[in-house]
Chain A
Amino acid sequence: MFKNYLKIAFRNLIKNNVYSFINISGLAIGMAAAMLIALWIYDELSYDSYSRDKAYIAQVYQSETYNGIVDTGAAIPRPLEFALREDYADNFEHIIMSSWNEALNLSYEDINLTFSGNFMQSGAPDLLELEFLDGDENSLEKLNAIMIAQSTAKALFGDEPAIGKTISINNYFNLNVSAVYKDLPNNSSFSSVEFIIPWEALIAASDWHKRVRDNWGNNSFQLYVKINPNTTMEAVTQKILNVKKDRSKDEAEFNPQIFLFPMEDWYLRNNWDNGVQTGGRIENLWMFGIIGVFILLLACINFVNLSTARSAKRAIEVGIRKSIGSQRRQLIFQFLSESFAIVVLSFVLAIGIVLLFLNGFNALASKSIVFPWSNLTFWLSALVFIVIMTILSGSYPAMYLSSFNPVKVLKGAFKVGKNSSLPRKILVVTQFSISVALIIGTLVVIDQIQFSKDRPVGYDKEGLIEVFTLSDEFDGKQDLMREQFINSGGVVSMTTMSSPTTDVFSNISGYNWEGKPEGFQEDFAFISVHYDFVKTLGLNVIDGRAFSRGFATDSSGVILNKTAVDYMKIQDPIGKYIRHNNPSTNVKPYKIIGVIEDMVVTSPYSKVKQAMYVFDTQSSMNFYSLRLNPKNSISENLLLIESTFKKNFPNTPFNYQFADEEYGKKFRAEERIASLAQVFSALAIFISCLGLFGLASFVAEQRTKEIGVRKVLGASVGQLWLLLSKDFITLVTIALAIASPLAYYVMSRWLQKFTYRSPLGWDVFVIACFGAIIITLITVSFQAIKAATTNPVKSLRTE
């Protein structure tokens, strides 16, 4: 029986090849899109899945309140470690202090390379679940040890054994390789830990770290923990919540809250808004999940519409089958098995499409997803998916087709009722509402990105490079290097900076100034710069002046950005002082010498933070900022700069970044979302048009006789085209009316995320609606014009 059904199904497919093509390709494209989205979601969800004990691992986070605004982050003070070890040790299996993941220069013989890694305490290998390939896994206990990842070992030593070799770190530490571990997977939070150096080695070498041992106000470190299996994250958080507040009188006013941020949330739920966890990547997962379901729905709608539209053709068969003994149940089963066959066929095609586009998709989403051939769960879900698709697309047509009365259809008196096309119309409206809403959404995302990209950044980011000067050997050589760089001809101006133009490494509080409001809890971005800061970056001084060699006192000067002036509520700032709260410290007061236009440093979507730019007297520079010589090509300039650099620092890798490229990276996440959204909304509208094309050809076919008669009576091609097209245009117009307010509502909420946001203008809606109408017209007109230009004699002869 089943075989017989399949036979009929396939013969029907071949006979009605246009419809089959529309049905199968629509379904296949829809399924392929859904499959790609599913693979992507699965990949995102499996981030950090290498970790078996993920449920017990957390990073210690801190929230503090400044002027009523809660700031949450991973940075914690050093004494927190000791407090936890002394009073809460029984909650933890590991308490591990860590530095930030930073890039250091590793040298072995004449190989100098930069890797990123952490200084961590000895529990790290267990917390990171490292797999050791060689050496001693407990060697973080030793001060002169370094553990390196396999790829690091390969880069430094090639095929030679790594254990026991001495590596020079930033030409400062000399450490012996004590263990080699397997690289952590790319999709894990610790993937950039390419080496681990004992935390104690850092403490031993750094006076600064020793000084802040008991300083609760210096939040410069990270702390990872693994809790005991007999407790929970919530329980531990409850215990340690006020540990800092209770122990530090000075900090209590900021209401510091210490809590555990579970590893399971690191990747997907890492957004904080005023102290509240507000999602993160998980929102994108939901968004694309919903888009995937929508696309599938669109494909199913095509199927339903085309099957029911063509019901008249199948009616006779239903009549015959009923008259020779088929029950309705059997017919339903027959039509469902036809749908099943089509869905399976589409699924196979969809796999082909996925395989074809997986590389492109990976590039677009910056993923390295491989097709899960051997994943049983995948195939089981695929099976469930096929069944669901069959039911979704096949059940309505099956119920509808099997309901025909055999007497009526066999008599040839079968006429589809006047309202029988109503469900079809509703479905077309649904389809176009979804696709137009997706298009509007995508346009808004693109618009927002472009709007933020066009935002004035306050400095000239083109032709500006930043050379990393991470090690101590650069100390005190600024003036020498500036001279040499300029003499080389590759550079016209240079300054040094403690943070790059695209990030803030340091924030500061605890200062006082004339007119500071009572109880004001200040918080500034704090950047140390050097001479020619304004000139090199191309900043706009709006009040006062830049740091100048002509004024010896400028070494204790400070330049504020405009936001800082507004923030401090300071009148006529030039010449006024900013003093440290604690007069006993011998920090000199900062004299305000200039105010610059705001520089967009962190997120291009948010407000610029109030910033203090002070003159670097402590060698806290991390970068040379170089303004390239505009007369040369960039590559010429780079060659000149590199040779000058190498002449002075032969054993240090020459690492640099372009300011504009770094700035561009800030848009990557959104751009990735936008390009994915573009692809999927294009697919959505394509699938909808495919369906519309099918329906249009059906209608043209159904009205062949009418068209013939009208033509004989003198209707022009244009009139016939209008006759056939206007119904569809009406439907699409209704869809536009539904989609626009819906998209407006959703997208204006999405835009709320950004402080600096594009106004949601009518132009986006006009473009989307106009586009949808044009696409509809093109789709429908093809069939309409074909029908309208057919010789009427031919079409009238068909009956």
Chain B
Amino acid sequence: MSILLSLNEATRSVNSGNNKVTLLNNINLQVKEGEFISLMGPSGSGKSTLLNCIGMLDNFNGGGYTFLGQPVHSMKEKKRSMLYKEYIGFVFQAYHLIDELTVFENIETPLLYKNVKSSERKALVADMLDRFNIVGKKDLFPEQLSGGQQQLVGIARALIGNPKLILADEPTGNLNSKQSTEIMELFSELNKEGVTIIQATHSEKNASYGSRIINLLDGEIVSE
């Protein structure tokens, strides 16, 4: 299987007052297409930072990051944004749907940023609603949905752009166990269809859905 992304001695540090705090230290990681990786580790171990950096919302400030053979670390902002718009979808613990938009519109939004034509957008969103069985909810606003349903919409929104990689930061952290199971099953189904998934999680059970578990501690990979 081809390599989707690779990190080479990737480092992320911030300045807090006079102290330099290292959030991620010399991370070496290769992700192949079709993998389902679970990042584990205690709070503050760097799981979220790693996801954000991989997702290009945040940047490493040392080492190399190659995505689909292209050097992300030396890219301009615009190019980077084009890359993640095309290939990456995010799922958040707090769902992060836009409150003022309906389910339909929330799912549609990434397509707007990709300049997809209106008719095509409608078709794609309709397919997605259908697939997730939420057609009946398309005109509701996020606050009218349960947590599980909101996360479903979040995943649908992440998937609408047909990404190669889904980054999920504690996707079930706000859900009860029944809802969690549904979401995790959905992830594994997606993975089977070929989508690469990296999730950050505290839960052993959720981690077990993945094909590979990486443990982080204090910004370093301690075991695989």
Q: Name A's B-contacting residues (CB within 8 A).
A: 1, 4, 7-8, 11-12, 15, 316-317, 319-327, 330, 406-407, 410-412
Instruction: Using CB atoms, name the residue of chain A closest to B109.
Output: A324
One of B55, B92, B105 near A4 (C-beta < 8 A): B105
A7-B105, A327-B81 given; A320·B96 CB < 8 A: yes
The answer to whether A407 and B161 have CB atoms under 8 Å apart is: no
One of B48, B55, B97 near A320 (C-beta < 8 A): B97
The answer to whether B90 and A324 have CB atoms under 8 Å apart is: yes
CB distance from A166 to the nearest CB of B (A): 81
Cβ of B67 under 8 Å from chain A? no
The answer to whether A4 and B96 have CB atoms under 8 Å apart is: no
Instruction: Using CB atoms, name the residue of chain B closest to A409.
Output: B96
The answer to whether A325 and B110 have CB atoms under 8 Å apart is: yes
Most buried by B among A12, A319, A407: A407
Could you say which residues of chain B place their CB within 8 Å of the CB of A321? 98, 109, 113
One of A8, A323, A326, A330 near B100 (C-beta < 8 A): A8
Could you say which residues of chain A place their CB within 8 Å of the CB of B110? 324-325
Could you say which residues of chain A place their CB within 8 Å of the CB of B78? 327
Instruction: Using CB atoms, name the residue of chain B closest to A9.
Output: B100
Could you say which residues of chain B place their CB within 8 Å of the CB of A320? 96-98
CB distance from B51 to the nearest CB of A (A): 10
The dominant DSSP class at the A interface is helix
A8-B98, A8-B100, A411-B48 given; A324·B113 CB < 8 A: yes
CB distance from B20 to the nearest CB of A (A): 18
Instruction: Using CB atoms, name the residue of chain A closest to B58.
Output: A407
Could you say which residues of chain B place their CB within 8 Å of the CB of A323? 55, 57, 90, 92, 96
CB distance from A311 to the nearest CB of B (A): 15
Could you say which residues of chain B place their CB within 8 Å of the CB of A410? 92, 94, 96
Contact with A along B23-35 (1 / 0, CB 8 A): 0000000000000
A223 to B90, CA, bound (A): 85
- Besides A11-B100, A12-B100, 14 more A-B contacts (Cβ < 8 Å) are A1-B112, A7-B100, A11-B101, A317-B100, A319-B96, A320-B96, A323-B57, A324-B158, A325-B85, A327-B113, A407-B52, A407-B57, A410-B92, A412-B94
A753 to B177, CA, bound (A): 83
The answer to whether B157 and A324 have CB atoms under 8 Å apart is: yes
- Closest 10 A/B residue pairs (Cβ): A325-B85, A325-B113, A11-B100, A324-B110, A320-B96, A407-B58, A407-B52, A323-B90, A8-B100, A1-B112
Could you say which residues of chain A place their CB within 8 Å of the CB of B81? 325, 327
Interface size on B, residues (CB 8 A): 29
The answer to whether A406 and B57 have CB atoms under 8 Å apart is: yes
Could you say which residues of chain A place their CB within 8 Å of the CB of B158? 324
Instruction: Using CB atoms, name the residue of chain A closest to B85.
Output: A325
Cβ of B209 under 8 Å from chain A? no
CB distance from A531 to the nearest CB of B (A): 87
The answer to whether A15 and B57 have CB atoms under 8 Å apart is: no
A320-B96, A412-B94 given; A326·B101 CB < 8 A: no
Contact with A along B89-125 (1 / 0, CB 8 A): 1101010111111000100111011100000000000
CB distance from A99 to the nearest CB of B (A): 73
Q: Name B's A-contacting residues (CB within 8 A).
A: 48, 52, 55, 57-58, 78, 81, 84-85, 89-90, 92, 94, 96-101, 105, 108-110, 112-114, 157-158, 161
The answer to whether B161 and A15 have CB atoms under 8 Å apart is: no
Instruction: Using CB atoms, name the residue of chain B closest to A412.
Output: B94
A344 to B55, CA, bound (A): 39
Instruction: Using CB atoms, name the residue of chain B closest to A324.
Output: B110
Could you say which residues of chain B place their CB within 8 Å of the CB of A326? 113
CB distance from B188 to the nearest CB of A (A): 23
Instruction: Using CB atoms, name the residue of chain B closest to A13.
Output: B100
Could you say which residues of chain A place their CB within 8 Å of the CB of B97? 320
A7 to B55, CA, bound (A): 29
Instruction: Using CB atoms, name the residue of chain A closest to B100.
Output: A11
A317 to B161, CA, bound (A): 19
Could you say which residues of chain A place their CB within 8 Å of the CB of B99? 317
Could you say which residues of chain B place their CB within 8 Å of the CB of A1? 112
A7 to B97, CA, bound (A): 16
CB distance from B156 to the nearest CB of A (A): 12
Instruction: Using CB atoms, name the residue of chain A closest to B94.
Output: A412
Could you say which residues of chain A place their CB within 8 Å of the CB of B98? 8, 317, 320-321
The answer to whether A325 and B84 have CB atoms under 8 Å apart is: yes
List 28 A-B pairs, Cβ < 8 Å: A4-B101, A4-B105, A4-B109, A7-B100, A7-B105, A8-B100, A8-B101, A12-B100, A316-B96, A320-B96, A320-B97, A321-B113, A323-B90, A323-B96, A324-B85, A324-B89, A324-B113, A325-B81, A326-B113, A327-B81, A327-B113, A406-B57, A407-B52, A407-B57, A407-B58, A410-B94, A410-B96, A411-B48
Could you say which residues of chain B place their CB within 8 Å of the CB of A15? 100
Most buried by B among A4, A15, A321, A410: A410
Could you say which residues of chain A place their CB within 8 Å of the CB of B108? 4
Instruction: Using CB atoms, name the residue of chain B closest to A329.
Output: B78
Could you say which residues of chain B place their CB within 8 Å of the CB of A4? 101, 105, 108-109, 112
CB distance from A786 to the nearest CB of B (A): 25
A4 to B105, CA, bound (A): 8
CB distance from B150 to the nearest CB of A (A): 13
A93 to B55, CA, bound (A): 83
A261 to B187, CA, bound (A): 88
CB distance from A234 to the nearest CB of B (A): 60
The answer to whether A322 and B109 have CB atoms under 8 Å apart is: no
CB distance from B158 to the nearest CB of A (A): 8
A322 to B52, CA, bound (A): 12
Instruction: Using CB atoms, name the residue of chain A closest to B96.
Output: A320
CB distance from B47 to the nearest CB of A (A): 12
